[in-house]
Amino acid sequence: MADTEFIKSVTDRFTLLLGEEKASQIVITESPFETFLTVPAELISVVMTELYDNPALGFDSLVLLTGNDEDDAVKTKNDDGSETLTGGNLSVVYHLESLPNRKKIIIKTIVPKANPEVPSVTPLWVSADWQEREAYDMYGIIFTGHPNLIRILMPYDWEFGFPLRKDYQNPEFYQGIKVPY
Amino acid sequence: MGYLDKEFTDSNIIVTNLDALLNWARLSSLWQVGFGLACCAIEMMATSASHYDFDRFGVIPRPSPRQSDIIIISGTVTLKMASRVKRLYEQIPDPKYVISMGSCANCGGPYWDHGYHVLKGVDRVIPVDVYIPGCPPRPEALLEGLLKLQEKIRNESRVG
């Protein structure tokens, strides 16, 4: 279950570190499963460095990094019955674990689809390298400062977009091969 | 006494035609490319192992396509893999045969609609001789597929 007391202590620490105004942008979301912190993308570097470096927190392990399409785009019906999506957000979810302190925390950051830039956490956790490449490959999230941000699963010459986005359209042909069934 | 008569008196002589001889030789040693793609490859390996013993039909996995006669497409062919599969096929010397094993290789299988990355049937890149249904097919089904391929080879004519 969610460790509310611990989450509170973490946010208090960020209030000290960032000041009241910036720290108020960090939102705690309670859910029946796990409580998570939503952090704006511009604060990700500071927040992650603190979580990693501060021995009282000691989040030395990045368990999981995932991309996600928030599915909050505005849907407009076309005449032919199809839908056009405009706007919307992407998000990155970080599951961190502190082995010395036996704590877990989930950090989420939401970025607009128009400019999906999130600072890379690869300098802190090397395990983020391929996971960020996968999030880039599937959702097109740009991790600034990543050492080698190229596609990892899809072919390198895949030019038809990012397949797990809600507005993704599969191409008719790839290298002369018909793609749809 | 002609050879035809000797067939019945001398057990070392068999009278046949050249086609049948060559086909019999070829279908009895179908070396396959040691190549697996997904969960079907596990069944293929089980077929190669001692219990089902693929070797009794002369099927031996070879490490190089240049030493092989058949390729068993055992699993999901992704769009990224399609060009590699095609290249492997082209590296096999003629005459060569293709067994498409399992629903994924046949038609895309469970990825037929939403699989953005899956080739909807390996016959879109290389010609297929035998399709084996199943997800994955049991080793018996793969053996049956191989026997079908042998039947096909037995009826070929390369000499005439």
Q: pLDDT tens, B20-76? A: 888 999 999 999 999 999 999 999 999 999 999 999 999 999 999 999 999 999 999
Select the residue of B79, B80, B125 nearest A179 (Cβ to Cβ). B79
Single out the residue of B74, B75, B72, B48 nearest to residue B60, CA to CA. B48
- Evaluate whether B146 touches B99 at the Cβ level (below 8 Å): yes
Distance CA B66, CA B74 (A): 19
Query: Which residues of chain B make contact with A153, given a CB cutoff of 8 A?
Result: 80, 117
With left for phi above 0 and alpha for psi between -120 and 50, is residue A73 left, alpha or beta? Answer: beta
ipTM above 0.85, yes or no: no
- Evaluate whether A48 touches A88 at the Cβ level (below 8 Å): no
Query: Which residues of chain A make contact with B107, given a CB cutoff of 8 A?
Result: 181
pLDDT of residue A1: 45
How do B70-74 and A74-77 pair as beta strands?
unpaired
pLDDT of residue A81: 78
Where do the DSSP E strands lie in chain B?
A: 32-33, 61-62, 70-74, 97-101, 130-132
Question: Quick check: B82 and A175 CB within 8 A?
Answer: yes
Query: Is the peptide bond prior to B136 cis by the omega test (within 30 degrees of 0)?
Result: yes
Q: Please, which residues have CB within 8 angstroms of residue A21's CB and are 6 or more apart in sequence?
A: none
The segments of chain A whose pLDDT lies below 70 read: 1-2
Question: Quick check: A178 and B79 CB within 8 A?
Answer: no
Query: Which residues of chain A make contact with B119, given a CB cutoff of 8 A?
Result: 177
What's the pLDDT tens digit per position in B104-122?
A: 999 998 998 888 999 999 9
Question: Quick check: A181 and B82 CB within 8 A?
Answer: no
Considering chain B, what percentage of its residues have pLDDT values greater than 70? 92
pLDDT of residue B8: 65
State phi, psi for B65 to the nearest 5 degrees.
Answer: -65, -25
pLDDT of residue B114: 85
Question: Quick check: B125 and A177 CB within 8 A?
Answer: yes
pLDDT of residue B3: 61
CA of residue A10 relative to chain centroid, distance? 20
Which pTM does this prediction carry? 0.82
Query: What is the distance in angstroms between the Cα of A167 and the nearest Cα belonging to chain B?
Result: 13
- Class of residue B77 by CB neighbours under 10 A (exposed 0-12, middle 13-18, buried 19+): buried
pLDDT of residue A61: 92
Q: Across-strand partners of A115?
A: none
Question: Quick check: B112 and A181 CB within 8 A?
Answer: yes
> At A33, is the secondary structure helix, strand, or coil?
coil
Interface test with A, best of B77, B78, B80 (most A CBs within 10 A): B80
State phi, psi for A126 to the nearest 5 degrees.
Answer: -65, -25
> How many other CB atoms are there within 10 angstroms of residue B41's CB atom?
18
Query: Which residues of chain B make contact with A177, given a CB cutoff of 8 A?
Result: 79, 82, 119, 124-125
State phi, psi for A66 to the nearest 5 degrees.
Answer: -130, 150
